[in-house]
Amino acid sequence: MSDNQLSVEERNKRTLTKLVIWAVGMFAFAFLMVPFYNVICDITGLNGKTSSTAATDAPAEVVEDRTVTVEFITQKGDGISGEFTSETKRVKVHPGEITLVHFYASNPTDSDMVTQSIPSVSPGEAARYLHKTQCFCFDQQTLAAGERKDMPMIFYLDPEIPRHINQFTLSYTIFDVTERVAGKNNSVAAN
């Protein structure tokens, strides 16, 4: 190879450059892992991740001859001392039927709280047939001190949902992200 005609110093420099590029590439790969993983989960519905954006197109049809049971469970993550419940614990819907479910969260503390809810579907296979046209989980929700907030969620099931899925659970975990948001704003302000 032409490498042999170069001096040792030159070859060492090349090796060093390659190694540095490799290390930087690996570092970048580690940082890209979460978005990459999310994209894979979005596409395949692995891990019960639901889409994080609102569905814009209406369902093509309502499949009247099928009913799917959707159950809702709520969990409170760190720092949440108030209430977080769903009005409905389970609904029976026809695929394609647009359904509204109310969730409630309260903030009994004396200060405002920013919350983020994270959805998860089990079995994960159902995740990609769940289309939400409106969800409190798409954005961070601010709960004023002492507020009890009504957080609606509107969804429909894909008419294409496989026959063997006749029941699934949608779980929401609510987290207090006040400090995280404040930290971000501070760092933006500092810049």
Binding site for other proteins (CB under 8 A): 26, 29-30, 33-34, 37-38, 41, 44-49, 77-78, 116, 118, 122-125, 173, 175-177, 180, 183-184
User: Measured from the CB atom, is 1 or 34 closer to other proteins?
Assistant: 34
User: Measured from the CB atom, is 86 or 117 closer to other proteins?
Assistant: 117
Q: What is the smallest separation between the CB atom of 140 and other proteins, expressed in angstroms?
A: 10
Cis preceding-peptide flag for 123 (omega within 30 of 0): yes
Residue 75 contacts residue 122 (beta carbons within 8 Å): no
Q: What is the smallest separation between the CB atom of 182 and other proteins, expressed in angstroms?
A: 11
Max Cα separation, the chain? 77
Q: What is the smallest separation between the CB atom of 81 and other proteins, expressed in angstroms?
A: 16
Q: What is the smallest separation between the CB atom of 134 and other proteins, expressed in angstroms?
A: 20
User: Measured from the CB atom, is 86 or 173 closer to other proteins?
Assistant: 173
Q: Say how many CA atoms lie within 13 Å of 60 toward its Cβ.
A: 4
User: Measured from the CB atom, is 6 or 29 closer to other proteins?
Assistant: 29
Distance, CA of 127 to CA of 125 (rounded, Å)? 6
Distance, CA of 91 to CA of 130 (rounded, Å)? 14
Rg (CA), the chain: 24
